Structure 1
């Protein structure tokens, strides 16, 4: 059966409570993490062009291929720790793994300028690789937290709001990067900003964040009852959750999960191609300086963030009025997020420097509407298995990040001349094509039913079953 909202007449929850505070903190934490990923994409433009930044800082003459290595370095590490990170989040509950991932990576962000001065691009690549390794558990941690905190009826709105932190972090980074690079801080200030943002968030999260409602001391009894009642039939209590053995074979032979994995992978390539390459595309094809490029690059992600709230409200309205089921809602918004951007993305490959305004409109549509996919595949892991949502995210994100790290490498292989729009055209055709195929699979084969393997037997369940069978046999003998 599909997930259904509980009866609001039975238990009322506060309109704003502890679960909303947790979601706001997760939103900001993800924003901090994303600024660490995006900072090099915007800073590298200034690092390779002394005229676009404070002239007191060194300029680096790196090739396009070297640049592609640097932009993909984070994802090589990020890929490796997805599944181990998901197991850590499953074992420890999400709070501590999220804290360590963002804070430790933030420390490395502060050390980035020093690493470049000491070891040029090779040491920078190593540092980005380490940041990726550290951040591998972030999405699994968030999914684990959401599976404990957010009832099914609020999953589309509050869950998607948390992941809007990706767009907010991108907007924030691109808005401030041009100003910081041109200030007395120069391009190193971009990395200092992201590091300090992450450390401040970590301090607040340590004292306010909680792995589950039972671990939160600041929430009302009514809200705790509301959440725990909604979760009672789908998710194990926290003290039993960590003891549950992951049903690896059943997960890896699940068709709905494989469809989700492929959908998420197609999204990852398209999203990361746009995220890491827009600043370079703006400068090379549209002829924008770093300040103009930063402002223009941030506009699509600002639209992405704002449209997220529009789509969340629309999704809630359609489901609460009974116009769409959970399954229909997931596929409707996934279709909007994947298929609407296809044409604008392809058209970007036909733009020239005198069409910068039209190119910006296309980018706003492509990246802005893309957020609707967050209400589709991005919370589908929790639909399929609330108990193992973090594990599913870890596996799927591992595969997705093969695509993420291949995005800048693909661009580096195809775009040998950054000012050649025909080479960029090939990149955009690939991104648009993957969006189309990914959603087609999700429409035909995606599911939202809780899978049977969500309820594996714990050791306690097995002991109880053996005890029951023993008593039954003894009774039959009598």
Structure 2
């Protein structure tokens, strides 16, 4: 029995590392609600039903103005991600994530008053400032890298990321229900602010940057986490030089970037435009819109756990390598929605039920991206996970801010079905291309630039991964009638 196995026997099944994952889940859900509730709010503010007291104002905003409101958040978000990765590395994820969520929650509480004073332009400013506070993704990557033993990285990381799916459901269904209640659309901003502020209190009391800083952690669990990280970091010095050249010349990083940008384009299309599509093309009222807008993301949330269980079995039984698992799940997350979106283009106008089923499936299956590509930054570089995640998030948020603007140009009348066909066709093409690139050049192997320069010099040439890449066509099956095509990266 190895030392690691002996330590595992003494570690509680539920420990502080699970609490940290739970806090990340809640934090990501709260920040997702703060991010996405605007997509229901703009529908309620322009086409919604007045509250019971009849005092909730409605606004006559054009489709272009609504697209500016929806995209303004991502302008701030794109600017914030890269600095957030550096700040996490410098000050720790606890402080950065706390202040980002706190300010975003307070801004959400001020939204109603800002819109009342200066209209849609004020809404854009508030959303832009909230985007600048969105530091969730780099902080979560760094926090998971600090707390997750290698053997539990996929399990704990995937669970934390399902907070995003929970937030999607709350943003769509919860916001719709609030808007159709006596609170009206202003209640959307207030409820999101309350959700974020409660998390801030819990995070301040229970969060910790590392296992070494935690106050309530047991000795066995601390030894497991600290020992595993020391082995994975190869006893790196506390202050490592950020390998900018290695990152910007890394083919796997660019392959991952293409997959993440494609996923961002497809998912943002649904997140930002689904309420408008259901309201305009299918003519659903506010309450029905909330239900059917949330249903795809509810399926997405459930499927996350299904994917997680399957991935856990595949890795535990060693039936699939981590690289093969990442590529398989990424293919499901990108190519399945692409196929469904293409099908939407050809569905007839009177087939409302089929449209709802296809929309639900296109979003639901895409949750495979959590295990497929979102955790891949930690694979490529555990030591610089926050920096890498910040870089990725900056560029994927450019896709997220462009999507509403492109849709605003393509869709001048939300009731015109043929204009939405162009939107779905474009998204399908982006999803298909992004996955092709990741299949060819993506990997889950930790890159050489993850180590310090001193450690890199210690590696012999044959120890460096991806020296040789070859395409193999091999017989498959006992009768030898089938063939399999594999892209293998091996050392000689």
Normalised TM-score (structure 1): 0.91
How far residue 107 of structure 1 moved from its aligned partner, in angstroms, is 0.4
Q: 1:437 aligns with which of 426, 430, 433?
A: 433
Kept in 2, the 8 Å contact 1:286–1:355? The answer is: no
Q: Note if 1:419 corresponds to 2:415.
A: yes
1:366-422 superposed Cα distances (whole Å, 9 cap, x missing partner): 111100111111011000110100100111111111101001011001011111111
Q: Which residue of 2 is the match for residue 251 of structure 1?
A: 247
> How far apart, in 1, do the equivalents of 2:228 and 2:12 lie?
14
1:88 and 2:108 correspond: no
Contact persistence 1:273–1:407 (CA under 8 A): yes
- Could you tell me how far apart the structure 1 residues matched to 2:48 and 2:145 are? 47
RMSD: 1.9
Q: Give the counterpart of 2:145 among 144, 147, 156.
A: 147
Find 2:366's aligned residue among 365, 370, 375.
370
Match of 1:228 in 2: 226
2:163: which partner in 1? Answer: 165
Q: Which residue of 1 aligns with 2:193?
A: 195
Match of 2:106 in 1: 107
Q: Counterparts of 2:128 and 2:44 in 1: how far apart (Å)?
A: 21
Query: Distance between the aligned counterparts of 2:286 and 2:349, measured in 1?
Result: 15
For the Cα contact (< 8 Å) 2:49–2:286, is it kept in 1?
A: no
Query: Does 1:349 pair with 2:345?
Result: yes
Q: Is the CA contact 1:103–1:202 (under 8 Å) kept in the aligned structure 2?
A: yes
| Aligned twin of 1:176 | 174
SS in 2 for 1:195: helix
* Contact 1:265/1:399 (8 A) holds in 2: yes
Partner of 1:11 in structure 2? 8
Note closer, same or farther for the CA distance 1:392–1:52 as it changes in structure 2 (3 Å cut): same
Give the Cα separation in 1 of the matches to 2:3 and 2:152.
11
Q: Is contact 1:146-1:159 (8 Å) kept?
A: yes
When residues 236 and 79 of structure 1 are mapped into structure 2, their CA distance, relative to the original with a 3 A threshold, is farther
Q: Give the SS at the match of 1:393.
A: helix
Question: 2:211 maps to which residue?
Answer: 213
| Residue 7 to residue 441, structure 1, CA distance change in 2 (3 Å) | farther
Q: How far apart, in 2, do the equivalents of 1:6 and 1:338 lie?
A: 40
**Helix, strand or coil at the partner of 2:394:** helix
Structure 1 residues 62-81: Cα deviation after superposition (integer angstroms, max 9, x where no partner)? 11011100000000111111
Match of residue 480 from structure 2:
none
Q: Which stretch of the first structure deviates more once superposed, 49-58 or 304-313?
A: 49-58
Matched residue SS, 2:445: coil
Q: CA deviation at 1:10?
A: 5.6
Equivalent residue number for residue 63 of structure 1 = 62
Q: Distance in 1 between matches of 2:90 and 2:419?
A: 46
Deviation of 1:173 after TM superposition, in Å, equals 2.1
Residue 335 of structure 2 is matched in structure 1 by 339
Do the aligned residues in 2 keep the contact of 1:341 with 1:367 (CA within 8 Å)? yes
Matched, 1:322 2:318: yes
Equivalents in 2 of 1:192, 1:358: separation in Å?
Answer: 35
Residue equivalent to 1:289? 285
Deviations 1:135-165 (A, max 9, x none): 1x22111100000111222222210111111
Q: CA deviation digits over 1:336-355, x for unaligned, max 9?
A: 11111112122233446642
Which stretch of structure 1 is more off in the superposition, 348-357 or 174-183? 348-357
Offset of 1:237 from its aligned partner?
7.7
For residues 418 and 250 of structure 1, do their structure 2 counterparts lie closer, same or farther at Cα, with a shift above 3 Å needed? same
- CA distance, structure 2, for counterparts of residue 6 and residue 156 of structure 1: 22
Once the two structures are superposed, residues 76-129 of structure 1 have per-residue CA deviations (whole angstroms, 9 ceiling, x without a partner) of: 111111111110011112111111111110000000001100110111101100
Distance in 2, matches of 1:53 and 1:355, equals 32
Q: Which range is displaced more, 45-54 or 59-68?
A: 45-54
Aligned to 1:465: none
Q: Which runs of 5+ in 1 are unaligned?
A: 462-478
Give yes or no for contact 1:79–1:399 (8 Å, CA) kept in 2: yes
Which range moves more in the overlay, 295-304 or 166-175?
Answer: 166-175
CA contact (8 A) 1:349 1:421 kept: no
Equivalents in 1 of 2:301, 2:234: separation in Å? Answer: 33
Q: Tell me how far 1:244 sits from its aligned partner.
A: 1.8
Counterpart of 1:73 in structure 2 is 72
Q: Check the 8 A contact 2:4/2:224 in 1, yes or no.
A: no
1:268 is aligned to: 264
Distance 1:196 1:322 in 2: 44
5+ unaligned residues in a row in structure 2: which ranges?
456-492
1:14 aligned counterpart, secondary structure: coil
The count of aligned residue pairs is 453
Give the alignment's TM-score, normalised by structure 2. Answer: 0.89
Aligned to 2:443: 447
The separation in 2 between residues aligned to 1:204 and 1:10, in whole angstroms, is 29
Instruction: State how far apart, in whole Å, the 2-side matches of 1:79 and 1:139 are.
Output: 12
Partner of 1:32: 30
- Contact kept, 8 Å, 1:52 with 1:290, in 2: the verdict is no
